[in-house]
Structures are given as C-alpha cells and as structure tokens.
Amino acid sequence: MVFDVKQDLRSKARLVAGGHLVELLDNKAHSSTVKEISVKILHVKAHHNKMDAFCGDIDNAFANAYTTERMYAIAGLEFGEKLRGKIIVIRKALYILATSCARFHDHLSDTLRSMDFLPTRFDRDIWRRFNKETKTYEYLCTHVNDFYIFSKQAQEIMEQIQA
C-alpha cells in the first residue's frame, strides 16, 4: 500500500503490486502514447477551426481495467481481520503491475469505440469522430490515463467520459 498527500491536501492510497518481479512471457506490457507532433498539429487545427481544447486525467484509471496477469497476494492487516492471512486473487490492473498500462489502454480504446471514436492511421492514440451537428471532426488524444479533447463541443465529450 502506498500513501500520498495530493497538492490540495487530499489523502490518497494506492494498492500496488511488485510488477518488477513478474515474468512477462505471454503478457503484452507495451502501451502506446500519442506523438508530440500530433498534439501540436491538433492545436493548430483546433485554433484554425475555433475548437475548444480540454485536457483531462482519469482518476484511479487502472482500477477500471482487468489484468491478464495471474497474480495473487496474501491479505495483510489492511484487509481486516476477516481476510487477514487469506489468499486473494488480483483481477484488476493495479498500479505497478507490468501490464497495467496496456490493459488500461485496451479498456480506454473499447470505451472510445463505444462513443463512435476511431483511431487514426497516422497515430493510433489520436481518436476522431465526425460530428453531424457541427459538421466537423472531433479529436481525442490519449497518453495512458491523460487525454486531450479538441472539439466545438468538448464539454459534452468530457461529460461522456465522466459517465
């Protein structure tokens, strides 16, 4: 368990696992990220088309994705007396597991596809969809659990992601 105090003085605890101790024989651990030049080009395009640019971060991102690694732990005191000493199977992509970034990338990709976004051919971490209402493309860039939205209706996309 790792404890932290955020800049706004909120406390945060993360359950972490020793990903550096895992054999990665059959697990994909790589997670791509948006290219820097892609973000710069989208800034220019957004400015030219009078689009809003929103930046966001998905809190507790890895807890939304399932891991493909076969992991277990023996529950300690932090799990309470009822579970203490018992074997627990880890199903979620915890921080520091070797494949957590890749599993979250897969999860986020599925979510964006369900919102009708498709990855571009040039950069697989730039997603776009055509907005029939504004007659423009909307773009979303991903970098692990951070994202950038370029759209004339960026707030609506932000709310869709939050839901």
Q: The pTM is what?
A: 0.69
Tens-place pLDDT, residues 124-135: 999 999 999 989
Phi, psi of 6 (to 5 degrees): -75, 170
Tens-place pLDDT, residues 33-76: 889 999 999 999 999 999 999 998 887 666 666 777 777 788 88
DSSP string over 9-70: S-EEEE-B--GGG---SS------B--HHHHHHHHHHHHHTT-EEEEEE-TTGGGGSEEEEE
Percent of the chain with pLDDT over 70: 77
- Whether the pLDDT of residue 19 is over 50: the answer is no
- Whether the pLDDT of residue 15 is over 70: the answer is no
